């Protein structure tokens, strides 16, 4: 299994046997360059163990935020996956949530991260301030750096903005009306909050037809058509690795 790069084996009785990463191991891929993870360059999609860890981390973070009264919403490609599939996009490598900046202090783990003190919560998830700027990151564990990014937005004249922009095409300001109210969406086996009118929100972020026309994070590095087209094309989903 190791030689073939298999991460999950489906057994005859319906159970799974896993060979991939865990909380005590590093994730299955290294540093992401130009928004393109190593597995895409190898012609594969996200290892199923990594998707499983991302779902678990996202579910945990959403539960903590809701329990703390922090207003959040599915952002960027994560929202795109929720609208398109009800799940993480099968080649994605992290999860993005927007939060209201003024709510950071409501969550003890976020408040610690904001004060510059990385902290491991009782479930083994690791909260820290991201080194790239004014946002936060929750890792699956200290060892396994699969993560959820938390982007603190604030309202300015009816527009939601933030202090760190990384130059991603979808990294744009948007009207606060998309969050008044927020609406529940199915995502990764649980329910999370998203903007109202999610399709319009996504087309503001990514352009017209974003939901219907899948593409990799950085087409300048690798385009989906190199791998046989859109979902259901040349490559499989979780079983690829």
Q: Note the pLDDT tens digit of each residue in 143-187.
A: 999 999 999 999 999 999 999 999 988 899 999 999 999 999 999
| CA 117/CA 47 separation, integer angstroms | 31
Q: Is the pLDDT of residue 112 over 70?
A: yes
pLDDT band for position 236 (50/70/90)? very low
pLDDT at 4: 79
| CA 7/CA 233 separation, integer angstroms | 21
Q: Calculate mean pLDDT across residues 17-35.
A: 93
> Are 62 and 125 contacting, i.e. CB atoms less than 8 angstroms apart?
no
| CA 148/CA 121 separation, integer angstroms | 14
* DSSP one-letter string for 192-239: EEE-SSHHHHHHHHH-TTTTTS---S-TTT--GGGGTSSTTSSS-SGG
């Amino acid at each position: 299994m190791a030689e073939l790069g298999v991460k999950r084996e489906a057994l005859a009785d319906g159970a799974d046997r896993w060979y991939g990463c865990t909380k005590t191991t590093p994730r299955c891929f290294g540093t992401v360059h130009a928004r393109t993870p190593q597995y895409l360059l190898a012609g594969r999609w996200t290892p199923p163990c990594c998707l499983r860890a991302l779902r678990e981390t996202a579910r945990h973070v959403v539960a903590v935020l809701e329990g703390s009264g922090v207003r959040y919403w599915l952002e960027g490609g994560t929202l795109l996956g929720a609208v398109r599939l009800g799940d993480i996009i099968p080649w994605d490598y992290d999860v993005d949530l927007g939060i209201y900046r003024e709510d950071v202090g409501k969550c003890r783990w976020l408040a610690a991260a904001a004060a510059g003190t990385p902290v491991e919560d009782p479930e083994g998830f690791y909260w820290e301030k991201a080194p790239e700027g004014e946002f936060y990151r929750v890792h699956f564990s200290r060892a396994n750096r699969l993560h959820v990014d938390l982007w603190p937005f604030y309202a300015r004249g009816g527009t939601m903005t933030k202090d760190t922009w990384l130059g991603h095409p979808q990294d744009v300001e948007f009207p606060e009306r998309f969050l008044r109210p927020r609406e529940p969406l199915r995502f990764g086996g649980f329910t999370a909050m998203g903007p109202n009118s999610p399709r319009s929100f996504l087309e503001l972020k990514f352009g017209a037809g974003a939901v219907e026309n899948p593409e990799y994070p950085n087409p300048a590095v690798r385009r989906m058509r190199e791998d046989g087209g859109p979902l259901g094309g040349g490559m499989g989903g979780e079983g690829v690795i």
